[in-house]
Amino acid sequence: MSSAFTKSAARNIFYGGAVFFFLLLLGLTFDTMQTLPKRDNRANLTESVVRGKHIWETRNCIGCHTMMGEGAYFAPELVNVYTRRGPDFIKTWMKIQPSGAPGRRQMPQFHLDEQQLDDLVSFLKYASEINTSKWPPNIEG
């Protein structure tokens, strides 16, 4: 028996691997499409949540904070801030920035009105209700 690696053997390995991984991709895609509706909290998506997400994006909150592990690691994870602190704390915190506390990194003042603060809190509440499979690993993010 020849121990040489032939062109036909290489071709068969390539095609077999391509078919296998394509089928694996299809299976994982199907599984994801079946699982997402159970985990993504889409039933609670409101106009206020959408406006809050828009504030999150236009103020570049992800430039300092993380949300579900995505973003910068300069400031705390915010996916569970609603359950940790509550809506009143979040609104007050946003109003008093920058706090001027010595030794702390300072968050900018975004000059949000009451409606914008309510929308941002709605977005953070929505995010806290998403099934993140126990992320972040501790309560403080």
**Cβ burial 75-96 (10 Å sphere, 16+ → b, else e):** eebbbbbbebeeeeebbeebee
Peptide bond between residue 137 and the one before it cis (omega within 30 degrees of 0): no
Rounded Cα gap, residues 48 and 27, in angstroms: 35
Distance between first and last Cα of the chain: 60
d(CA 137, CA 130): 15
d(CA 38, CA 130): 9
Task: Grade residue 99 by pLDDT with cuts at 50, 70 and 90.
Answer: confident
Could you report the per-residue pLDDT of 17-65, keeping only the tens digit for each?
999 999 999 999 999 999 988 888 888 999 999 999 999 999 999 999 9
With a threshold of 0.85, does the pTM exceed it?
no
83 near 75, Cβ under 8 Å? Answer: no
Residue 86 is encoded by which pair of tokens? Answer: 């509550």
The number of beta carbons lying within 10 Å of the beta carbon of residue 58 is 9
pLDDT by residue (tens digit) across 117-132? 999 999 999 999 998 8
